[in-house]
């Protein structure tokens, strides 16, 4: 089921910017609106766990990197002053060893003006800038391409790096310990099976005699009365 949430300047309700809440559903284009994918560019050192454009989930974004493309949004064919969108996002430290408040997700929210566009385009580019600023650019081009109207692609500073996640070493140690314990247990079970005495053998079933036998394979002669069983010691 498709859920639409629309917003826009109070004075121009009919040209509102609409978002399709079901991201995997197909956006229906109309005479006044066209569809575009959403992607993001993170120009900050923080990790963006998730972000929403007017309530529509639009992915995540690594520090100084870009996000994936999420479908879809419907926007007016003709730009007008006052066209805005509400952007909400969460950030936390990119340091894998961060602790306390730095490791927690923090919510942010902003009403963002959509940059002027002159023609229909297939992508809404969301730029997360320092100091909590955001730019929304509808364009067929992306950062790094000639005449792209927005910021260049994020550049990671040379000194932006962190120590490897400390938990990786402890997890590797735990896996190695579990493997060693499992191997030792398997070897102990194999030794126990090897050293165990063989199970007792069941007593042999008596071999039934034929009517003309006094013992298995020994025929009764004419002098042996019927029913006489000769048992050899």
Q: Which two tokens stand for residue 81?
A: 């002053």
Higher pLDDT, 176 or 121: 121
Residue 202 has pLDDT above 90, yes or no: no
In three-state secondary structure terms, 201 is coil
- Residue 55 has what pLDDT? 84
What is the reported pTM? 0.62
CB 88 within 8 A of CB 106: no
Q: Where is average pLDDT lowest: 21-30, 38-47, 182-191?
A: 21-30
* Domain residue limits, the chain: 4-138
Mean pLDDT of the chain: 80
Max intra-chain CA distance, the chain? 131
pLDDT at 102 exceeding the cut of 50:
yes
Task: Tell me which residue of 109, 139, 112, 134 sits closest to 124, measured CA to CA.
Answer: 139
């Amino acid at each position: 089921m498709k859920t639409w949430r629309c917003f826009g300047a109070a004075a121009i309700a009919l040209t509102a910017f609409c978002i399709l809440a079901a991201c995997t559903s197909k956006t229906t284009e109309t005479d006044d609106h066209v569809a575009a994918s959403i992607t993001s560019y993170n120009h900050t050192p923080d990790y963006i766990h998730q972000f929403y454009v007017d309530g529509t989930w639009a992915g995540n974004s690594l520090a100084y990197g870009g996000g994936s493309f999420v479908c879809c949004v419907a926007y007016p064919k003709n730009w007008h002053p006052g066209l805005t969108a509400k952007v909400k996002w969460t950030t936390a430290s990119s340091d894998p060893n961060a602790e306390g408040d730095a490791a927690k997700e923090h919510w942010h929210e902003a009403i963002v003006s959509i940059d002027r566009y002159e023609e229909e385009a297939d992508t809404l580019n969301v730029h997360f800038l320092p100091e909590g600023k955001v730019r929304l650019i509808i364009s067929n081009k992306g950062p790094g391409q000639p005449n792209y109207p927005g910021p260049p692609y994020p550049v990671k500073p040379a000194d932006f790096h962190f120590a490897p996640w400390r938990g990786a070493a402890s997890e590797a140690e735990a896996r190695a310990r579990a493997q060693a314990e499992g191997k030792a247990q398997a070897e102990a079970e194999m030794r126990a099976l090897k050293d165990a005495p063989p199970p007792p053998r069941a007593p042999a079933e008596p071999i039934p005699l034929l009517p003309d036998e006094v013992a298995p394979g020994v025929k009764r002669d004419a002098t042996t009365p019927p029913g006489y069983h000769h048992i050899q010691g």
